[in-house]
Amino acid sequence: MSLLEVRELRKSYSQPEGETVVLDGVSLTLKSGESVALRGESGSGKSTLLHLIAGLDDASSGDIIFEGLAIHDLPMAKKAEIRREKMSLVFQQFHLISTLKIRDNLRFQANLCQRLDLGFEQELIEKLGLQDQLRKYPHQLSGGQQQRVAIARALLHRPAVVLADEPTGNLDEQSSLQVMELFRDLVKQAGSALLMVTHSREMAAYLDMQCWLQQGKLSMSDERLVAEAL
């Protein structure tokens, strides 16, 4: 059974000039351990799709099935519980808590859902090169270091699915590639599925599959696998 199923999802907004359709019958399946890059032009609805899956916004119609549960029909409190315990969201903006030291930031979500694994925490710290940063505050770290903390925080409780929106968008190209490689490997190690919004062909190539949003429609491709076979 699929971990996540999006079925004929539609999202539109009422504007003074009429209805604006952002998503028009989008369907997507994500299995455990699978990674999918979501690409498309700016304004094509990529971030909107992530927000709908995470329960941060409501669809106009369609179904979102997560672990066999129709989450789009759930009350807000239940959506928040699933988001806290089963999902992780990673954005361009790091959303670290400025008054907490790095170790406490890293543990924040894992502590909330009472799933702190000290062994996995140490492994994340070492692989992401954060050993010397744990007693510092977020403002004392570079952008790349802060993003690494955000990634560690997102993975420490081993979520079922990670939803990432341009997670390396604020980093330079070299740092982006380094962080992306680590991110992909650590997501797999955590046993999570990954759906990642990116504009970058290079970032997308790290993942198992790619899909495109255009004019509200979604198309799938295994372009990376085809390219490797040539």
pLDDT of 26 over the 90 cut: yes
The model's confidence at residue 121, banded by pLDDT at 50, 70 and 90, is: very high
Structural element, H or E, at residue 197: strand 193-197
pLDDT of 191 over the 90 cut: no
| Tokens found for residue 95 | 């959303």
Q: Taking the domains of the chain in order of start, what are their residue ranges?
A: 32-58+74-229
The mean pLDDT value for 180-185 works out to 85
pLDDT of 42 over the 90 cut: no
Taking a C-beta distance cutoff of 8 angstroms, is the pair 163, 88 a contact? yes
How far is residue 170's CA from residue 78's CA, in Å, rounded to a whole number?
32
User: Could you report the per-residue pLDDT of 129-182, keeping only the tens digit for each?
Assistant: 999 999 999 999 998 889 889 989 999 999 999 999 988 777 777 778 878 888
Higher per-residue confidence, 100 vs 174: 100
Q: At what angle do helices 143-155 and 118-127 cross, to 10 degrees?
A: 150
How far is residue 80's CA from residue 56's CA, in Å, rounded to a whole number?
9
How far is residue 101's CA from residue 145's CA, in Å, rounded to a whole number?
13
Q: What pLDDT is recorded for position 221? A: 63
CATH number for the 32-58+74-229 domain, one of 3.40.50.1820, 1.50.10.150, 3.30.160.160, 3.40.50.300?
A: 3.40.50.300
Q: What pLDDT is recorded for position 147? A: 87
Percent of the chain predicted with pLDDT > 70? 95
DSSP string, 36-87: EEEEE-TTSSHHHHHHHHTTSS--SEEEEEETTEEGGGS-HHHHHHHHHHHE
pLDDT of 116 over the 50 cut: yes
| Tokens found for residue 148 | 């690494």
The mean pLDDT value for 50-60 works out to 93
- Round the average pLDDT of the chain to a whole number and report it: 88
pLDDT of 223 over the 60 cut: no
